[in-house]
A and B are shown apart, each in its own frame.
Chain A
Amino acid sequence: MEKYFHSVQLDADRCCGCTNCLKRCPTEAIRVHDGKAKILSERCIDCGECIRICPHHAKKANSSKLEEIRDFEYTVAIPAPALFGQFNNLDSIDVVLTGLKRLGFDDVFEVSRAAELVSEATRRLIKENKLNKPIISSACPAVVRLIRIRFPELCDNVMPLMAPIEVAARVAKQEAMEKTGLPKSKVGVFFITPCPAKVTEIHSPNYTAHSECDGAIAVSKIYPELTQIMDHLTEVEPLGQSGLMGIGWATSGGESAAMLGDKYLAADGIENVIRVLEELEDEHIRGVDFIELNACSGGCVGGVLNVENPYVAQARIQKLRKFLPVSLNHLEEGQLTQMLWENELTYDADIFRLDKDISKAMEMMSQMEDIYKGLPHLDCGSCGAPTCRALAEDIVRGKAKETDCIFKLRAKIQNVYDQLKGTI
């Protein structure tokens, strides 16, 4: 097995080797070689930007198939709140939840319920002064992964609580086991996911050895069938158990609002997230206790596996929240401890550094600076690296050569031609 599992994959047949994804990737994890894109596994954070941008649909996200639920005797769907924003003229989330049951699940448990628990737990930890401020939300796995590979000093600021999806999976599984008397292995919990980052998180979690989520099915995968079913429901079950606070997590700012304080900041969109992390690292952001970061524009409604425009989804969610009570889920005695991380978040120092040995790394960087000076500084991407600087780095790492730059190649050919001409 590869060291890093990724939901985001390349469909080589569709890839025509253009530079769209190359230029868009926030961690410079893509190279184009021999006319095909390649994802550098160790650098990919599964944010899905390349899926969003690829005009040939050559980037895809692997997620579970609905049929997989047949492997279990009893199944629970745990939908992300973003799902509720995907439907036109929806009056109540009960319609969606009932639809999920008709789709084949035995029960449903909204992730927004767990979000309310996470919000309460965070408020409590802040009040008890147990966290390093400013606290960075741990809800978006693409952001957490980004911090692990690029922001060593910020690892200790990430909130040490499991994300709502993991909490939901655990509570839902426990409840199902108690209700049915079945052993854990026969109960399947499936997340309905707006993004590839969550799929990856389930397979290789950042802060626990093993996720209790047994699979993640893309919103877009079940959407056609689910809407059909929803259109023909004869009876709607009163299944919804989350308040407006939990549902609010679907959009950027929702998690912050649930902190019930005013010293927070919410940034969305991966480029903005990176800017905030840089400034946090340099301590330019002061007077803020809580920082919510979502890799997708608009928050999880902007996830690439949704079907609806994020802003439309956001407006619908606002409407759905309007008549809900504030919060319907509260921590039970001892529950908070179970929501704490099992593993500490560690910095993955190897990803971006040139070499373990600093002197060797310095030598490589000196070469890199020299090579870079000789490149045309156009960042055109024709060489297959996103920038001239990235090509210089690839060259010193032994993964590319100077003549991958078409300008260098042209100069070399000209040179050879001139020499030949001289000899005739």
Chain B
Amino acid sequence: MSNAIHLHYEVSGEDFTRAGEASGAVKKRLKSLGFNPDAIRRTAIAMYEAEINMVIHADGGFCDVDIYPDRIEILLSDHGPGIPDVEKAMQEGFSTAPDNVRSLGFGAGMGLPNIKKYSDEMRIETTIGVGTNLYLTIKVSG
């Protein structure tokens, strides 16, 4: 479709208090576009979790967001360590987050399960030592 909006954000791996900038910017744009509030909320939650994962587990990366009238497509891509066992990582409560991150309230192992819950489609491509691509689609109803 021709009238899509493409947004690109670099996500720094250095300072995770800054994680959330990209999802925050996307949320603001979706509100200006007048998208259905439920779709906005689901996008913001899923994208934030994925952004945080990129910062905590993969030293940052980038996001590409394509906004269409009926859906939002997001790619989060990093050159981190990759995920050895995706099925296991998807389980609620599974986490390899280091202690310093846990003390800040991350590491409950709920990120990926929540991403799955709030998005309509989710696909992970990951290669050990190369990195991870996470593809998300949020459909807009009404």
Contacts and interface: CB of A to CB of B under 8 A. Distances in A.
To the question of whether A and B form a pair in one complex, the answer is yes
Interface in B22-66: 23-24, 27, 29, 31-35, 37-38, 40-41, 44-45, 48
Nearest to A389: B28
A359 B69 contact: yes
Interface stretch (A2-10, A137-145, A241-249, A348-356): A348-356
A359 B33 CA distance: 9
A366 B3 contact: yes
A355 B37 contact: no
Given A278-B24, A282-B23, A284-B48, A365 B34 contact: no
B67 interface: yes
Contacts of A363: 3
Contacts of B67: 362
A278 B28 CA distance: 10
Contacts, number: 60
B32 A365 contact: yes
A352 B5 contact: no
A358 interface: yes
A225 interface: no
Secondary structure call for the B interface: helix
Nearest to B114: A283
Contacts of A393: 32
A150 interface: yes
Contact of B34 (A153, A354, A369): A354
A152 interface: yes
A347 interface: yes
Interface residues of B, number: 23
Contacts of B69: 358-359, 362
Interface in A139-184: 150, 152-153
A361 interface: yes
A353 B38 contact: no
B10 to A, nearest CB: 16
A64 to B, nearest CB: 36
A281 interface: yes
A237 to B, nearest CB: 52
A350 to B, nearest CB: 9
B23 A365 contact: no
Given A153-B38, A281-B44, A284-B48, A353 B24 contact: no
Contacts of B33: 353-354, 358, 361-362, 365
Interface of B: 3-5, 7, 20, 23-24, 27, 29, 31-35, 37-38, 40-41, 44-45, 48, 67, 69
Given A282-B41, A393-B32, 6 more contacts: A282-B44, A284-B48, A353-B34, A361-B33, A362-B69, A365-B32
**Smallest CB-CB A-B distances: 7 pairs:** A353-B34, A152-B37, A361-B33, A358-B69, A282-B44, A153-B41, A153-B37
